[in-house]
A and B are shown apart, each in its own frame.
Chain A
Amino acid sequence: MFKEVLAEDQDCLTLNVGPQHPSTHGVLHLVITLKGETILRVDPHLGYIHRSIEKMCESLSYRQFIYVTSRMDYLSAHINNHGCALCVEKALQIEVPQRAQVIRVLMDELTRIASHVLWWGAMAMDVGAITPFFHAFREREMINEIMEETCGARLTMNYMVPGGVMYDLHPNFQRRVKQFISFFKSKLNEYDELLTDNIIFKQRTQHIGVLRREDAISFGATGPVGRGSGWACDVRKRAPYECYHQLQFEQVVEQAGDCYARYLVRMGEMRQSLSIIEQLIDNIPSGDYQAKTKAVLKLPKGEYYSRVETARGEFGVYIVSDGGTTPYRIKFRSPGFSNLSALDHMSRGHKIGDLVAIMGSLDLVIPDIDR
């Protein structure tokens, strides 16, 4: 394929973007073929941060393997852990107590906001505005502090265990989450002032990197990328887990399929997550935070799959068990990998500046892609 491009045009320029480049958000390596500033093709080269997490999980017990998944999509570590815990619970048919379910959903949504807030800052940085990044981290810091208080860590919390959560909520949790909600609501309007309505930002993102609905489906682009293309693919709605089916929230879907649509989807999701947290924060049922489970978990022989909606899209956990204490094979379906595969399709014919904006709107987390 590379030869084909060169044969068409002898004047094109090959540029290596990454693995050390400010806009690749990690060790992603893109080989782009340019004609002037126009992109002819983009080749993502992966594997710089491959740690063979799937293979590692095969030697870890069903309690131990959950924490490793925090190191994949570290921005939605909670939700990754949640997916793994769900899969183990499904296999062992453990009934998760109501309180644990609500705590899990609350933590998931806080994680989603924290992840989207970070993405917002990074997206602004990609299109050249630096100030929003720092404003975003101020809000993220509040969530991190809430996490630190309840879970004991700020980034890789490891709070989910098979059957529930590791600890009960911290007594301060409700008060601090309410503080955060009222603070964050006013800050969301500031976000609009700084970026959403900004004419330069709109120019940079509208009609850029258009991904049509059919293409989104065929690339398997889930999460805000898929929903920005008009594909209602939210796992929380399509295959509700925990107590999502009892909650009132909307699936944010935009039809345009460009960078701005993906931006709007994430902004809308932050507001939806806030409303989910508001619904739950005063209605946390009392009871156990963890179901009684055996000390050593042995999954019955068979294959199990569960999926959750992370901040980036659909995260799937597939476990093959031969009846022992460790999985025979584990496969993770990470959303970042499928979303990245659409990059070449979206950025052909655009400028270098657009490639950066498109990558920003994909919200890539490289360890999630490489695993």
Chain B
Amino acid sequence: MISLEFILQSVDRWLRDRLGHEVAVAVEYVLVGLFVILFFAVLGLVLVFMERKVSAWMQVRLGPNRVGPGGTLQTLADTIKLVSKEGLTPAGADRFLFNLAPVLMIVVSMLLLAPIAFARNVQLWDINIGVLYVSAISSVSVLAVLIAGWSSNNKYSLLGAMRSGAQIVSYELSAGLSVLTIVVLSGSLQVSQIIEAQQTGWWLFRGHVPVLVAMIIYLIAVTAETNRAPFDLAEAESELTAGFHTEYSGMRFALFFLAEYANVFVASAIGAILFLGGWMPLHLGNWDAFNRIMDWIPSSIWFFAKTFFFIFVIMWFRWTFPRLRIDQLLELEWKYLLPLGIVNLLVATTIAVAGWYF
């Protein structure tokens, strides 16, 4: 059967046969780099289109329907527009940092793709501290936001950047705690082993209430970490016009835009891996026939279906809720999410130690 794993292995074998080990590895590095860039471009196009359609349908509108069949080429047209626009650096801005920030932002998002398992045995880097790596790298993006806000020499940008600093540092904690809940249950930080541990069932179904609570906390925390409504205080278009990227235009703005969607994808992918078993198909107890049918569906489809489910939920949040205020945002984290997360982790640990999960 043709799967993502099969394709990659044949490419690998083909390269090794012709080029020898060292050159093949070098070529593979380049190929992976190209893949990541291409994947980001496609991801941006797909997610922006999805967001526009989701928002349109929730707002009793049709959404983009002019360019291409059903409006599918709309985002491509927008990208061409953004690329061909003048990238303006405002007078008084710190030119070096101003140009560094969007690049830093997109590099961070690209790095985050490394430990994600796209399908069975398809992973760029199966590092043994995978989830730790993700939470460590993802907090670097706050630096990009701070740099962007400070170097723009704009008061709105500065306010937005300062807000996002406080916000991301706080919400890292809750995201980390809910990830830990699964790490405790799986007994590993390695992404492939966390998925392997869900062979008999996803953690969401096996882990009782604590995993459900952890999933809700995780969803809220990553929505805040990726700076999306209702936690988009760094941008807050009705208060700060566009927050930290007020002064950006053209391609540099597009990079911020792309990074936001890439971060949403990564956050959802990690959520899918932790709580819904990544590429693992849905298995129900002893129903062998059912499980066989589920196994027949390619693992990459399972992974992307779960990831897009989470992405949809995050978009659903965005198009339903009003924005929080900065002090309420921190209050939610420190008074509600963090205590609940700690208690939840304790309960989950008890369950894991006692082996009470299914």
List chain A positions with a Cβ less than 8 A from chain B. 13, 15, 21-23, 37, 124-131, 133-135, 138, 194-195, 198, 200-201, 203-204, 351-356
* B residues 214-235 in Cβ contact with A at 8 Å: 229-230, 232-233
Q: How far, in angstroms, from A351 to B326 measured CA to CA in the complex? A: 8
CB < 8 Å A-B pair total: 83
Q: In the complex, are the beta carbons of B322 and A204 less than 8 A apart?
A: yes
Is the CB–CB distance between B325 and A203 below 8 Å? yes
Q: Are A22 and B238 in contact (CB under 8 A)?
A: yes
* A-B pairs with beta carbons under 8 Å apart, 8 shown: A37-B159, A128-B322, A129-B322, A131-B58, A195-B322, A200-B230, A203-B324, A356-B238
A131 touches B237 (CB 8 A): no
A127 to B327, CA, bound (A): 14
Q: B159: which of A130, A138, A352 is its contact (CB, 8 Å)?
A: A352
Establish whether residues B325 and A353, one from each chain, have CB atoms under 8 Å apart when the complex forms: yes
Which residues of chain B have C-beta atoms less than 8 A from A131's C-beta?
55, 58-59, 319-320
In the complex, A203→B236 CA distance in Å?
17
Q: How many B residues touch the partner, as a band?
A: 20 to 34
Decide if B65 is an interface residue (CB 8 Å cutoff).
no
Does the CB pair A353–B322 fall under 8 Å?
Answer: no
Residues of B within 8 A of A22 (CB): 237-238, 241
A356 touches B239 (CB 8 A): yes
Cβ of A128 and Cβ of B155 under 8 Å apart? no
Contact A134 B321 (CB under 8 A): no
A353 and B68 CA atoms in complex are apart in Å by 39
Known: A37-B159, A131-B59. A126 touches B320 (CB 8 A): no
Interface contact A127-B323, CB-CB below 8 Å: yes
List of A residues within 8 angstroms of B320 by Cβ: 129, 131, 194
Residues of chain B within 8 A (CB-CB) of A23 are: 238-239
User: Beyond A128-B229, A128-B230, A134-B61, is A200–B55 a contact (Cβ under 8 Å)?
Assistant: no
User: Which residue of B241, B325, B328 is within 8 Å of A21 (Cβ)?
Assistant: B241
Are B319 and A200 neighbours in the complex by a CB distance under 8 Å?
A: no
In the complex, which residues of chain B have a beta carbon less than 8 angstroms from the beta carbon of A354?
325
Q: How far is the CB of A206 from chain B (nearest CB, A)?
A: 11
Known contacts A127-B322, A198-B322; can you find 13 more A-B pairs with CB under 8 A? A23-B238, A128-B238, A130-B59, A131-B58, A131-B320, A134-B60, A135-B59, A200-B321, A200-B322, A351-B325, A353-B239, A353-B325, A356-B238
CB of A201 within 8 A of CB of B239, answer no
- B residues in contact with A130, CB < 8 Å: 55, 59, 319
Cβ contact within 8 Å between B321 and A198: yes
